[in-house]
Every structure is written in structure tokens, then in C-alpha cells.
A and B are shown apart, each in its own frame.
Chain A
């Protein structure tokens, strides 16, 4: 025989259960999920790192030196030297080395044809898949007049070129 005492306690228990479920739902639904699209914070840090490395390379080594390392690399079109120095600075950490990769272009103006051209300076390595979350960092470089032989491919005149580096973490 079922008796009807304690009905209010049962109702209270049901109400408490509903309130607890509701609380759990609210707590879980208010925290957002970090998706691969939300990479703004690592991107921001990577961009700062890349521009700092370029700024460092664009600083002359001594007060009376003629130009910076970056200027020398671009002037001589020395892509391997540029790549190893850039990645060396980028991947330098206190512990194990970081795993950053890069490619670089130099944009220049062909004064004879008056068109903007792009020179592939450093090709991306084999780890490039096309789906990296890469950031772009840039630095202006001013090249001096060079009489002969004409500097390939920028030409001999004094000019400003833009070094653009794509940087990503593999």
C-alpha cells in the first residue's frame, strides 16, 4: 500500500534536481570553446616576434658599419644567409628550440617599366602544406647606388625595397 506522506519532500527533491541541472547547463554553456579559428593570441605573439627579429637584423652591428645584416643579405641576394640568421633568432628559446618556418619575398619597383615586381627570396621548405596559420611581417630596406655589376634582380639604382616574411609554426 502506497501512503501519501512525504509528498512535499519528494517535490522539493525534484525541484532541487531541476535547479542543479539548470546550474550545470548555465555553467557549461557560458564558457566558450577555443576553436582552431581563434588563433588571434598566438598570431599576435608570432607577429611581434617576427617584426622584432627583422628589426634586430636591420640594426647595424657597430656605429661605423656601413649597413645592417638585412641590407647586406638583400643587396647580395643571399637567401641562405638570411634564412639561417632569421630562423636562428626566431627559434632561440631558453630551453628546447622552437619549430618556426618561414618564406620570404622582396617587393621592388622596376623603374624602367614602372611596375611593382616580386622576387621570391626564400622558398618555403618541405613542411609547407598551405594550411598553416601564417603571419606576415615586413621591413623596408634601402639599397645604395651600385654602379657595376648591376644588382640582380633589383637593378643598380638607389632604391627602397620591401622585405616580406611569412612565418608559421609547424
Chain B
């Protein structure tokens, strides 16, 4: 270090800090790309619209048939379970009970079961 002078050390130090800051910014950019991908994969994987669609179908069924058990209603019930298994790879089952008094209104307890091997969904709803 014989001939080196010690001027400008602050500038060198600030240069080092700027380099470190750039490094961390690059890390953040890297992570942001990963976060977008995993979020979108998670959303696509989760059968949100399948479950909502199934609930609507079952409520339509309850509107039409209630809790009566006859060949017509059994056929529609079998449509829903068989087509779910065939086209959505989902085990689906539902039951409709007799109307009960819920806060002064007669509502039927409906249980819904959905399982596609990844996501399991069970619900009891008074409809």
C-alpha cells in the first residue's frame, strides 16, 4: 500500500452499498415471478367453480324435487353423480332431509360431499 492514498473511501463504501442493494432488488424480482406462478397454479388446481356449480345444480334439484324419492328424482340424482365421476373425476354425493323450522322458516337440511382426490369439500346447508 506504499503509494496509495486514502482519498475517496466514502465513495468506495457507497459503491459497495449500491451493489448490495442491486443484488437484493434482483432477488425480489426473482421471487415475484415465482409468486405469480404458484398463485395461478393454486387457483387453477382448486376446483372453486366446480364446487359452486355443483351446489347450484343440487339446489336446482331441491327446488324441483324437494326430498321426494321417486324414479324421476333418482334418475336426476344419478345423472349428477355419474356425470361428475365421468367428466370431473369427482366423487359426489348429497342428501336432502325433511323441512325443519329454522328461525321460523321451513328449510331442508342438504348435505353435499365432493372429493376429487385433491380437494375434499363437505357442507351441510339449510335450503
Contact = CB atoms under 8 A, between A and B. Distances in A.
Interface of A: 5, 8, 19, 23, 26-27, 30-32, 34, 38, 40-41, 43-44, 47-48, 51, 58, 107-109, 111, 116, 137-140, 142, 144-145, 157-162, 164
24 contacts: A8-B4, A23-B19, A23-B22, A23-B23, A31-B30, A32-B33, A32-B34, A43-B44, A47-B44, A51-B49, A107-B87, A109-B83, A111-B75, A116-B82, A116-B83, A137-B49, A138-B49, A140-B53, A140-B54, A140-B57, A140-B60, A159-B76, A160-B61, A161-B79
Contacts of A26: 23, 26
Interface string B26-41: 1101100110110011
Contacts, number: 99
B40 A43 contact: yes
B87 A164 contact: yes
Contact of B43 (A44, A107, A137, A144): A44
A75 B39 CA distance: 38
Q: Is the interface of A mostly helix, strand, loop or mixed?
A: mixed
A30 B30 contact: yes
Contacts of B53: 51, 138-140
Contacts of B1: 8
Q: Which 3 A-B pairs have the closest CB atoms?
A: A140-B57, A40-B40, A160-B79
B56 interface: yes
A38 B80 CA distance: 34
A157 B98 CA distance: 25
A40 B87 CA distance: 22
Nearest to B73: A158
Given A31-B26, A158-B75, 12 more contacts: A27-B26, A32-B33, A138-B87, A140-B56, A142-B64, A145-B72, A157-B72, A158-B64, A159-B76, A160-B57, A160-B76, A162-B83
A51 B22 CA distance: 42
